[in-house]
Amino acid sequence: MKPINSIGGQELREMFAAATGWLEKSSAEIDALNVFPVPDGDTGTNMLLTMRSTIEEAYRAPDHSASAVAHAMAHGALMGARGNSGVILSQILRGLAQSFTEKESFTAAELAGALQASSAMAYQGISNPVEGTMLTVIKDVAAAVQPEMTGNDKDLIAIMETVVNAASESVANTPKLLNVLREAGVVDAGGQGLHTIFDGALRFLRGEMEQMRFRKPQIIVTDVHPTKLPQMIAADEIPYGYCTEFLLKGEKLETEKIRKKLEKKGESLIVVGDDSAARIHIHTLEPGDVIAYATGLGTLHQVSIRNMDEQHQDYLEMQRDRGPTVDTAIVAVVAGDGLADVFTSLGVTAIVPGGQTMNPSTKDLLQVVEEAASDKVIILPNNKNIVATANQVQSLTEKRIEVVPSMTIPQGVAALLAFDYEANLESNIQIMTRAMSAVKTVEICRAVRSAKLGDLKIKRKQPIGFLDGDLVAVGESSLEVLNKMLSKLGLSKIEVITIYYGADTKSAEAEQVASDIRSQYPQLQIEVVRGGQPHYNYIISIE
């Protein structure tokens, strides 16, 4: 095998593209390593999605230098990082990029130095690093190649063999460093994912692309035997809270200052990035406090807030009884934990977080569709800006996809209530579409700026009301706006009004609004539900 003395940007990109394909082959098996109660699971999937974003950006690099490609990869990883493991992976790639700055190509010795930077960068973003994880694996890899940092005549294949061997040994050793792994008798999923990426890169350098088509990565097996059953490991009653992660964009961001501010607000804190973009991940009991602080620094993107206690309970239920597949799966796009609970209780198979200002991508929807345990899937977009995106999914999957074009949350709820488990897919699409057209939606929020629209003069922060997407009222209070809107509707045929109050609205205020409406319209049935949605103080269904 001919030695490789240096690698340029094009080879670097192709090497990591091959590694991403290699990781994809085992992402499900890596996910399955989370047999113990770590609610922040799906490690293989999160690392794969992060790597896909990395490679997509790599192909947009301005030139073929190692520096340009590595920096593009690091940017793509930061922007697309998913979960704890994805954020750490983005830091590893950032360390490589910084080491390759202004280099057309790099040697084995320079790669060894870059891996030292990757290890330091990975630890730097973590408030409380835990050994026995992928952090340990990158640290052990860096230690193994440190002697190779001198001399430029080294073979890159040889140094990558050292990397892969060190990663393999480190992953196998993770159960001896972390009790929960030892009790479950498994290796760390993030460490396994990192080993798979390095192994794919090595196989590319060896010219084994053809063999990789017909093989799968090896999942490292530990010689530690489990001491507890999965159901037993979660006996503690300490709440996990919410896995909260988002991308913060702003100006003059200070990651160290942000990290110190958030350290007391939760655990598993990661704050990484630069002065214009920071990726933040935290497990917290008060996600609202974290979001409120971050919004004061800039704009939030790719926001994900997941109830880890529910995830954990779902996992235990899955372990006890995986249950049958469903005939027709329903996927709904929803923002707000309260609304997510509503849709789940009505039979939705999967929730895709998103809504106003948080539109999920086609890739986000496709991923959930592919994971659904049915070949027939109905998508409820619940937002006019997401309908077109949902329609793109059909051409990307072999499953049969139908989009019920719900423009609002109330339309989505009405469609779900009309779903008939005994009807076929075609009939259900007709039934659901007809049902959602019978509901009217009122949305009340506060104006972000002063404006004059038609006859309406709007002041900044003044409550404004939309009826089925059209701005129709402004007032000094949400109740005044709602009353103006109700007066425009013919209430003689209205029976039920459901008020979903948002994340920034107190329950007492919502109940008072409902009480005032009841006193004016005693014939109506008024229901109040905590929606927890951002941006809108109230989303109101009128049926």
Q: What is the pLDDT of residues 429-478, one digit of tens each?
A: 999 999 998 899 999 999 888 888 888 899 988 999 999 888 889 999 98
493 confidence band (pLDDT: 50, 70, 90): confident
d(CA 144, CA 107): 17
pLDDT digits (tens, 9 = 90+) for 336-373: 888 988 888 788 888 888 776 678 888 889 988 988 87
Q: Tokens representing 539?
A: 């989303």
What does the radius of gyration of the chain's CA atoms come to, in whole angstroms?
26
pLDDT exceeds 90 at position 374: no
- Which among 67, 25, 5 is positioned nearest to 199, based on CA atoms? 25
pLDDT exceeds 90 at position 33: no
Cβ neighbors of 95 (< 8 A, separation 6 or more) are 114, 115, 117, 118, 119, 120, 121, 122
Instruction: Please classify residue 62 by burial: count the beta carbons closer than 10 Å to its beta carbon, then call 0-12 exposed, 13-18 middle and 19+ buried.
Output: exposed
pLDDT digits (tens, 9 = 90+) for 143-155: 999 988 876 678 9
**Any idea how long the chain is?**
543
What's the pLDDT at 180?
77
What's the pLDDT at 223?
67
pLDDT digits (tens, 9 = 90+) for 2-25: 889 999 999 999 999 999 999 998
Q: Tokens representing 291?
A: 């979001």
d(CA 291, CA 85): 21
CATH topology of domain 242-310: Alpha-Beta Plaits (3.30.70)
What's the pLDDT at 216?
82
Architecture of domain 440-542: 2-Layer Sandwich (3.30)
**Mean pLDDT along residues 518-527:** 87
What's the pLDDT at 524?
85
**Mean pLDDT along residues 369-392:** 90
Residue by residue, what is the 3-state secondary structure of 275-339?
Answer: CCEEEEEEEECCHHHHHHHHHCCEEEEEEEEEEHHHHHHHHHHHHHCCCCCCCCEEEEEECCHHH
Q: In this structure, are residues 242 and 306 in contact, taking their beta carbons and an 8 Å threshold? A: yes
Q: Tokens representing 372?
A: 């659904």
pLDDT digits (tens, 9 = 90+) for 309-343: 776 565 555 444 444 346 889 999 998 888 988 88
Output the CATH code of domain 325-436.
Answer: 3.40.50.510
26 confidence band (pLDDT: 50, 70, 90): confident
Give the distance, in angstroms, between the CA of residue 486 and the centroid of all CA atoms in the same chain.
38
535 confidence band (pLDDT: 50, 70, 90): confident
pLDDT exceeds 60 at position 196: yes
CATH topology of domain 6-227: 1.25.40
What's the pLDDT at 349?
84
* Most distant pair of Cα atoms in the chain: their distance: 86
**Mean pLDDT along residues 27-51:** 74
- Which among 449, 447, 440 is positioned nearest to 409, based on CA atoms? 440
What's the pLDDT at 267?
84
Q: Which of 34-43, 224-233, 334-343, 505-514 has the lowest mean pLDDT?
A: 224-233
Q: Tokens representing 262?
A: 């958030």
**Mean pLDDT along residues 287-306:** 92
**Mean pLDDT along residues 389-396:** 90
Mean pLDDT, the chain, rounded, equals 86
* End-to-end Cα separation, the chain, in angstroms: 73
pLDDT digits (tens, 9 = 90+) for 153-175: 789 999 999 999 999 999 999 98
What's the pLDDT at 313?
61
d(CA 73, CA 52): 10
Q: In this structure, are residues 41 and 311 in contact, taking their beta carbons and an 8 Å threshold? A: yes
**Domain ranges for the chain:** 6-227, 242-310, 325-436, 440-542
pLDDT exceeds 90 at position 72: yes
**Mean pLDDT along residues 417-434:** 90
What's the pLDDT at 90?
93
- Kindly state the DSSP code that residue 146 receives in the 8-state scheme: G
d(CA 288, CA 533): 11
**Mean pLDDT along residues 121-145:** 91
Q: Which of 61-75, 108-122, 166-180, 477-491 has the lowest mean pLDDT?
A: 477-491
37 confidence band (pLDDT: 50, 70, 90): very low
pLDDT exceeds 90 at position 403: yes
118 confidence band (pLDDT: 50, 70, 90): very high
pTM over 0.85: no
Residue by residue, what is the 3-state secondary structure of 33-76?
Answer: CCCCCCCCCCHHHHHHHHHHHHHHHHCCCCCCCHHHHHHHHHHH
- Which among 356, 366, 396, 391 is positioned nearest to 502, based on CA atoms? 356
What's the pLDDT at 338?
85
pLDDT digits (tens, 9 = 90+) for 211-250: 787 778 888 877 666 555 444 334 344 566 888 999 999 9
- Kindly state the DSSP code that residue 520 receives in the 8-state scheme: H
